[in-house]
Amino acid sequence: MTPADTAFRDWTAHSLTQVEAALSEWVPLSAPAGLGEAMRYAVLDGGKRLRPLLTLAAARAVAGAAELPAALRSACAVELIHAYSLVHDDMPCMDNDVLRRGKPTVHVAYGEAMALLAGDALQALAFELLTPEDGSVPPTVQAHLCAALARAAGHHGMAGGQAIDLAHVGRAMTEAALRDMHRRKTGAMLEVSVHMGALSAGADGPTLASLQRYAQAIGLAFQVVDDILDVTADSATLGKTAGKDQANDKPTFVSLLGLTGAQAQAQTLLQDALAALDAADLSDDGALRALAHSVVQRDR
Amino acid sequence: MTPADTAFRDWTAHSLTQVEAALSEWVPLSAPAGLGEAMRYAVLDGGKRLRPLLTLAAARAVAGAAELPAALRSACAVELIHAYSLVHDDMPCMDNDVLRRGKPTVHVAYGEAMALLAGDALQALAFELLTPEDGSVPPTVQAHLCAALARAAGHHGMAGGQAIDLAHVGRAMTEAALRDMHRRKTGAMLEVSVHMGALSAGADGPTLASLQRYAQAIGLAFQVVDDILDVTADSATLGKTAGKDQANDKPTFVSLLGLTGAQAQAQTLLQDALAALDAADLSDDGALRALAHSVVQRDR
């Protein structure tokens, strides 16, 4: 292991400990009538936490080692939006998936009505986390974080991408249309994860712009790799049903570019992401660099 | 008609025109792949707009006739949360209702998957409306509005109340438990509608407290009257299926207190609401008074 690898491993372990503790504190078991259990089941399940790590890595890139309440809250908020989207996506009227990260999906474990409500409540909770009333996050920062998250989660971003996805099952798509769909569906939340980390740390305009280029590249790379793994990995490794896109006749980067073409695309996007960091004036971009590599090299 | 009646009629007509125009502008037809159509169908459908009217009436009570961008945005945001909750409530896994305000429900018109997404996107859009990037609402006000809305919509409030409701279909409930359920399920959003109007107008602590007492009383009165109408009105007048609570064996104020008892309860709550206004130092509480009366006297 290089010293950079060791530093990233230690940073990741520390960051994940913080995020898990914060989510466990903030996702309320006390919510009434089983809602809290369903919300916690959806969130506290050993996900990869890529989005929170991106948020904390971006904050660190801008502000160095200082630990910022706004960054930790942002990290948890983006994970809650991600978690709610998975709960709703898995429902019978959407992807009808029964397995997620190796466990029964929320609607299987708690029923469809509770899954619907738990997802709804997780989205609201994300905005609650961004607006603490304890003075730990300046109101102006709270407002900017809510603005960014609302736009990324809604019809401009994630929800809009899912609508495009829904409309194209079994239909051909151009590469441009596929990129647009994924830029919204997955990319918007990955981008805003980086953006909110940088906002939490008080990044200036040029830095925000460089980090946006980084985030756009890894956002798309993430989806390209997802499509590759859907055909190259097995369900046990993925922790979800492999081969699903093909079975559902969904357009993917692999169906469009071929496996080799998709793999080359992922490498190009990784280089784009690293180049964006080279161009920025950052305190410590080690974690962002390592995360870019891990997005492209992951096997699940 | 008394002069107060005429003034309220004119204020209501003016306010509804503003709200409808703003919703029509802000709920985006441009959202991709049919999502915009479904969102607009859910929102632009001639609802009573009680929540937006409460918001604008509360802003007026505090600030007089000044028209505040924060109040109009808040009015639309609470309506979007209300609209999303109806879309999700009507879905087959929840109440499985096919008729809403005399029209097919969103999942009947657009399919279940699109109804799920439209609801999700409407919730995000509510927070987007509260965080404009055009300088029209001070960031501190934006933060307070998002904080209030997130808590009212989420597990503390509306979503929590729905979970309690779900858990009690066909089961007996004490009056205290029924009040707690409705305080969350319907009351939290009615309360926050008033609160956000007052916040938009810069209300001080004592004024916010008086208006909260007003809002709590009419929030509960609203549900008591809803339960009364479920047994006394017909589906055509209601614009939704009458007798549904009874058919679903749901606990209601009528099943608990009897029809006469529920009617007396509604009158008591109306007096409580008006007394809270008497105790407050307000510029012009005419619209809030008239709305309290209309909540109790409504026939649909």
Structure tokens at B60: 């007026």
C-alpha–C-alpha distance, residues B56 and B127, integer Å: 18
Average pLDDT of the residues in B3-27: 95
Nearest CA in chain B to A162: B117
Instruction: Find which of A37, A117, A129, A164 to mutate to test the B interface (most B CBs within 10 Å of its CB).
Output: A117
What radius of gyration, in Å, describes the C-alpha atoms of chain B?
Answer: 18
C-alpha–C-alpha distance, residues B239 and B251, integer Å: 22
CB contact under 8 A, B94 and A88: no
What pLDDT, on the 0 to 100 scale, is given for residue B101?
83
What pLDDT, on the 0 to 100 scale, is given for residue A30?
83
What pLDDT, on the 0 to 100 scale, is given for residue B47?
84
**Residue B174 banded pLDDT, cuts 50, 70, 90:** confident
Question: Helix H segments across chain A?
Answer: 3-26, 35-43, 50-63, 69-89, 106-110, 112-129, 139-153, 158-167, 175-182, 188-200, 205-232, 235-238, 244-247, 253-278, 286-297
CB contact under 8 A, A33 and B163: yes
CB contact under 8 A, A33 and B123: no
B74 Cβ under 8 Å from any chain A Cβ:
no
CB contact under 8 A, B163 and A130: no
**Domain residue limits at A149:** 3-297
C-alpha–C-alpha distance, residues B164 and B184, integer Å: 9
Shortest Cα distance, chain A CAs vs residue B27, angstroms: 10
Beta pairing class for B99-100 and A103-104: unpaired
Which chain B residues are Cβ-neighbours of A139 within 8 angstroms? Answer: 139-140, 142-144
Candidate ranges A176-185, B42-51, B106-115; pick with highest mean pLDDT: B106-115
A40 Cβ under 8 Å from any chain B Cβ:
no
What pLDDT, on the 0 to 100 scale, is given for residue A238?
59
**Residue B243 banded pLDDT, cuts 50, 70, 90:** low
SS3 state of residue B87: helix
Question: What number of other Cβ atoms are within 10 A of residue A233's Cβ?
Answer: 17
Backbone conformation region of residue A251, classed left if phi is above 0, alpha if psi is from -120 to 50, else beta? beta
What pLDDT, on the 0 to 100 scale, is given for residue B187?
96
What pLDDT, on the 0 to 100 scale, is given for residue A33?
83
One-character DSSP codes across B146-190: HHHHHHHHSTTTHHHHHHHHHHHTTS---HHHHHHHHIIIIIHHH
CB contact under 8 A, B121 and A159: yes
Among residues of chain A, what percentage have pLDDT more than 90? Answer: 78
SS3 state of residue A127: helix
Among residues of chain A, what percentage have pLDDT more than 70? Answer: 94
Q: What share of chain B is helix, strand, coil (3-state, %, to 5)?
A: 75, 0, 25
Question: What number of other Cβ atoms are within 10 A of residue B293's Cβ?
Answer: 15
CB contact under 8 A, B131 and A116: no
What pLDDT, on the 0 to 100 scale, is given for residue A246?
62
What pLDDT, on the 0 to 100 scale, is given for residue A241?
63
Which chain B residues are Cβ-neighbours of A114 within 8 angstroms? Answer: 163, 166
Shortest Cα distance, chain A CAs vs residue B125, angstroms: 6
Residue A169: pLDDT over 90 = no
Residue A244: pLDDT over 70 = no
A27-39 per-position pLDDT tens digit: 987 888 899 999 9
Structure tokens at A2: 């290089």
- The CATH number of residue A66's host domain is 1.10.600.10
The predicted complex's ipTM stands at 0.94
The DSSP output letter for B32 is: G
C-alpha–C-alpha distance, residues B99 and B234, integer Å: 13
Number of folded domains in chain B? 1
Structure tokens at B51: 């929540």
Instruction: Check: CB of residue B42 under 8 Å from CB of residue A155.
Output: no
